[in-house]
Structure 1
Amino acid sequence: MNELLKSVPESYFASVSTLNENLEIGDKPLINLAVGIPDGAAPKSVTDAVKSSVEDPKQHKYPGFRGYPSFKKAIMDFYSRHYGVTLKDENIAILYGTKSALVQFPMIFIEPGEGVFLPNPGYADYSAGVILAKGVEYDLPLLKENEYLPDYDALDQKELDNARLIYLNYPSNPLGSVASKEFFDETISRFKDTDIKIVHDFAYAGFGFDKKHPSILQSDPELSTAVEIYSFSKSYNMSGFRAGFAVGNKEMIEAINIYQDHTQTGMWGVLQEAATTALNEEDDFLTAQKDIFKKRKDMVIKELSEAEIPIEPIEGGIFGWIKVPDEFDGESFVKYLLKEESILATPGIPFGSRGTNYIRISMAIEDEQLKECIERLKGIAYLWK
């Protein structure tokens, strides 16, 4: 391991991906609220596509580096149908899961010493890519008083002059906050024709509870300024498939494609057939998925708010963001919940310095378990008084 890799902090989510036998768990059955993927199965049409294509001898060979034309057409049709965005082949990169692209992109786009603004709070592993690129991480504060949207006017001008990228993520993990088309309009207008490009992590696109979440590309019709990273993991319950795509600015997309030309030999054709089927045939599944999580969200917000447990509004996504009682920080409260209530939550600190006094809870568990968890939290509501 070289010194550069040693400089990357341990991935929090890798360290807790399996439950450690040394965890101090209470007497009640464990409820895992740290899970980051929906609890349902992939659509039947998707699994049927896998079954029907896996025996095809062509799927046992290299599939071609940059994706089947049918997969790319499905992406084009999906973005046209859902967002009114027109894409060409040059605007699409197939991804072997979206996390890899989000981490790799600074390494293939910025020069050493250049800056990347990362949301705080925001997804923990964004920063690994900046470190591996020998870039400089700049703080993009997401503050409650600004509805957890960045205030570009408050950013340091010297940092802006040195920055090449801004990462955004709406609906937000961990905050559950969302962005409007007007915000994306402002973002594109501000950074168009500058040296700064935008990477929008759209992993929770399908979880729009009041209305469909906008794509940033709706605000960038010339595809001059942004790429959007779309995941099958959450909306289609396909996390194990490791499939996604990036769409947008052709220079940014080409950087991804060239990098993958040298590091991959093409996504397995069976996965491409499965993803194509999801995009072409499962709009109703997206609606059903949204409805499941809206019901859970309404229950969580109502019950915890009535108990005066300070949870932030959940406007999108699958997570809730809760301020911990005054005598705790996020990490100590996670230990308390585990030991006293057998609830495994995620501390806010992996998401940045502004998460120190928060925990993240997931709604990606069965309804009955979620109801039981709510009752356990209500039972200790006095801690917040």
Structure 2
Amino acid sequence: MAISDRLAQIPDSYFAKTMGQKVEHGPLPLINMAVGIPDGETPKGIIDCFADALRQPDNQKYVAFHGKDSFKQAIVDFYQRQFQVELDKEDEVCILYGTKNGLVGLPTCIVNPGENVLLPDPGYTDYKAGVLLADAQPQPLVLEPPYYLPQWDKISKETLLNTRLVYLTYPNNPTGSVATKSVFDEAIERFKGTKTKIVHDFAYSAFGFDAKNPSILQSEGAKDLAIEIFSLSKGYNMSGFRVGFAVGNKDIIQALKKYQSHTHAGMFGALQDAATYALNNYDAFLDEQNLTFKRRRDEFEAKLQQANIPFEPMKGGIFLWLRTPKNFNGESFVDYLLQEQSILVAPGIPFGEHGEHYVRISLALDDASLLEAAKRIQSLKHLYE
């Protein structure tokens, strides 16, 4: 088989393997709650801007490798408005063709073979691939219920001494937990003056139900060792556009930009124009998205509580972390839900060893589908007794 040893050691991506695949399910109509693709349409103004930009002759040619000045300025202005964080558009901003490219490519940029990278467990499935591609050593950053926050004192000094990079992600995918500014303050203080850097995956930034989600860059000294990766996919219903960016520590940003100059030839200009328009004009839309998912969270959790079905409190993001019945693990419960209730969810195990007895449920569905799914899950309360 024509595959390198390095690539062969990496497990297949769970969502690449399952997304779009035909599934065999029970007699009821299928409800797919496995994938976090926003169910709403991209706002019309963004679509119209994109359509107009397609016709611009300059956008039909190569563009600058590191992005249009207008897009970078929109990013700077957005962070100033939303988080009161000042950024240098040349030194502290890197445009990404989808945030996954940045998250997976980052270890190759700044981590040496054999060094440790701390990965949240539970956490996003594809971080590990980037670590293995860099010949680095993935180490678990165990996040325990109910808050799923880092407990730095539980990590051995030996592990920390050889740690070059830490991944954080809040709101957390898959648990729906959130972080306060003090959590980020502690992380920055912990690694200040060491070789360890931090990347905060801020994909679900728009969704904070009890309070606005803080940026890690709001913490004092954060830009000395941290970057944040922001996605337009969820908040703006732009998942198909594959647009995001990294901001923060200038040395990490420059390493990412150098890496991209060899792996990408610049983002399509019309995409940049559409993203610029979104950042400059749709702050209110982000607030509406948050209210929509907060209402969905409230209604869905209430249904589970009525049936005494255990779950982890969802404080942000778009996913609910559901405990499996005692005689199931995540994978067997996924099969059971699919065959008995025609509900497709994601097993917890791809998100880390501590996800073995959970499944992840996406609330990115219309209200009628969510209500029907809640009723079907309520009918399983006998499994939890």
- Give the TM-score normalised by the residue count of structure 1: 0.98
Per the alignment, residue 7 of structure 1 pairs with 9
CA contact (8 A) 2:216 2:222 kept: no
- For residue 262 of structure 1, report the CA deviation from its aligned partner: 1.1
Bigger Cα displacement from structure 2, 156-165 vs 221-230? 221-230
> What residue is the counterpart of 1:84 in the other structure?
84
Query: In the TM superposition, what are the counterparts of 1:269-280 in structure 2 within 5 Å?
Result: 269-280=269-280
**Given that residues 53 and 270 in structure 2 are in contact (C-alpha distance below 8 angstroms), is that contact kept between their aligned partners in structure 1?**
yes
- The alpha-carbon deviation at position 24 of structure 1 amounts to 3.1
Aligned 1:1-385 pairs, distance under 5 A: 1-20=3-22, 23-89=23-89, 90-144=91-145, 147-221=147-221, 223-385=223-385
Distance in 1 between residues matched to 2:47 and 2:219, nearest whole Å? 35
Q: 2:370 & 2:222 partners in 1: Cα distance?
A: 44
Distance 1:142 1:210 in 2: 21
Contact 1:200 1:228 in 2 (8 A): yes
CA contact (8 A) 2:145 2:312 kept: no
Q: Deviations over 1:277-306 (max 9, x none)?
A: 010000011011111101100001111012
Pairwise CA distance, 1:222: 5.8
Q: Match of 1:144, SS?
A: coil
For 1:9 and 1:177, how far apart are their aligned partners in 2?
26
Q: Given residue 24 of structure 2, which amino acid in structure 1 is its aligned partner? A: E
Partner SS, residue 312 of structure 2: coil
1:220–1:226 Cα contact (<8 Å) kept? no
How far apart are 1:223 and its partner, in Å?
1.1
Q: Is the contact between residue 85 and residue 221 of structure 1 (CA under 8 Å) also seen in structure 2?
A: no
Pairwise CA RMSD? 0.9
Distance 1:196 1:256 in 2: 17
1:246 positional shift: 0.1
8 Å Cα contact 1:47-1:274 kept in structure 2: yes
| Code of the aligned partner of 1:105 | L
Change (3 A) 1:312 1:71: same
Q: Where does structure 1 lack aligned partners over 5 or more consecutive residues? A: none
Partner Cα distance (1:307, 1:178) in 2: 25
Distance in structure 2 (CA, Å) of the matches to 1:209 and 1:19? 33
Determine if contact 1:347/1:358 at 8 Å carries over to the other structure.
Answer: yes
Secondary structure (helix, strand or coil) at the match of 1:298 reads helix
CA contact (8 A) 1:235 1:289 kept: yes
Aligned residue type for 2:100: K
Match of 2:162, as an amino acid?
N
Q: Provide the C-alpha distance between the structure 1 equivalents of 2:380 and 2:141, rounded to a whole number of angstroms.
A: 34
Displacement of 1:220 after TM fit?
A: 3.9
- Cα offset for 1:366? 0.5
Superposition TM-score, scaled by structure 2 size: 0.98
Identity rate of aligned residues, in percent? 52
Would you identify which runs of 4 or more consecutive aligned residues in structure 1 move more than 2 Å? none
Distance 1:211 1:274 in 2: 28
CA distance, structure 1, for counterparts of residue 143 and residue 275 of structure 2: 33
CA distance in 2: counterparts of 1:277 and 1:209, whole angstroms: 26
- Letter of the 1:27 partner, please give it: P
> What amino acid does structure 1 have at the position aligned with 2:127?
Y
Q: String of CA shifts for 1:117-174, please: whole Å, max 9, x gaps.
A: 00000001000011110000111000015x2101001111111010100000000000
In structure 2, the gaps of 5 or more residues are none
Counterpart contact for 2:223–2:249, Cα < 8 Å = yes
CA-CA distance at 1:208 after TM superposition: 1.1
| Number of equivalenced pairs | 382
